[in-house]
Amino acid sequence: MAEKGYTIDVMHKNLYKYHQQGEVEKGVWPVYESTGPGASQPVKVVVSGPVDPAAEISVEWTFFDDGEVLATPLNPYLAPTQPEPDWSEVRKFERKLQELADQGYIHTTITDYIERLNKLGITPKPLLPIADSTWQPPSTDGISRWMGKMGILAYSLHENDNLIRTMNYEASTCLAAVDLLAQIAEGEGHDVTAARQLLKTGYLHLMKAQVSDATGINPWRGEWIYGFENNEGALTACNEAKTTLLAVLNKSPVVVDLDERKLADSMRPQFQLRETDPADVPFNLEITSPGRTVTASWADDGKLYLLELAIGASDDPSGQDRAKRTVSIKIPLAGGLLKYSPALVEDAIVEIPLADFDLLEKQIFLPLANGLIGLGPDLWLIKSCRDVHIAARVESDAGDFIEFTDETVPPEGDVTWRFYIFNGQAETALYLARTLNTHPHVFLSNIE
pLDDT in tens, 156-204: 999 999 999 999 999 999 999 999 999 999 999 999 999 999 999 999 9
Quick one: residue 27, left, alpha or beta (phi over 0 = left, psi -120 to 50 = alpha)? left
- 256: confidence class by pLDDT, cuts 50, 70, 90: very high
End-to-end CA distance of the chain: 42
Is 284 a residue whose pLDDT tops 90? yes
- For the four alpha carbons of 239, 243, 248 and 251, in that order, the dihedral sign comes to positive
Q: Quote the mean pLDDT of the chain.
A: 95
pLDDT (0 to 100) of residue 1 = 65
Q: Which of 227, 245, 225, 251 is nearest to 174 (CA)?
A: 245
- 74: confidence class by pLDDT, cuts 50, 70, 90: confident
Is 41 a residue whose pLDDT tops 90? no
Other C-beta atoms lying within 10 Å of the C-beta of residue 144: 24
pLDDT (0 to 100) of residue 282 = 95
Is 78 a residue whose pLDDT tops 90? no
pLDDT (0 to 100) of residue 73 = 76
* Domains of the chain in sequence order: 2-138 (no CATH), 154-270 (1.20.140), 274-438 (no CATH)
Other C-beta atoms lying within 10 Å of the C-beta of residue 188: 10
pLDDT (0 to 100) of residue 40 = 81
424: amino acid identity, one letter: G
pLDDT digits (tens, 9 = 90+) for 413-439: 999 999 999 999 999 999 999 999 999
Q: What percent of the chain has pLDDT over 90?
A: 87
Q: Has this prediction a pTM greater than 0.85? A: yes
Q: Highest mean pLDDT: which of 40-44, 87-91, 205-209?
A: 205-209
CB 397 within 8 A of CB 362: yes
Least confidently predicted of 63-67, 169-173, 196-200, 357-361: 63-67
Cα 74 to Cα 65: distance, rounded to the nearest angstrom: 15
Q: Which of 345, 303, 310 is nearest to 329 (CA)?
A: 310
CA max distance for the chain: 76
Is 326 a residue whose pLDDT tops 70? yes
208: amino acid identity, one letter: K
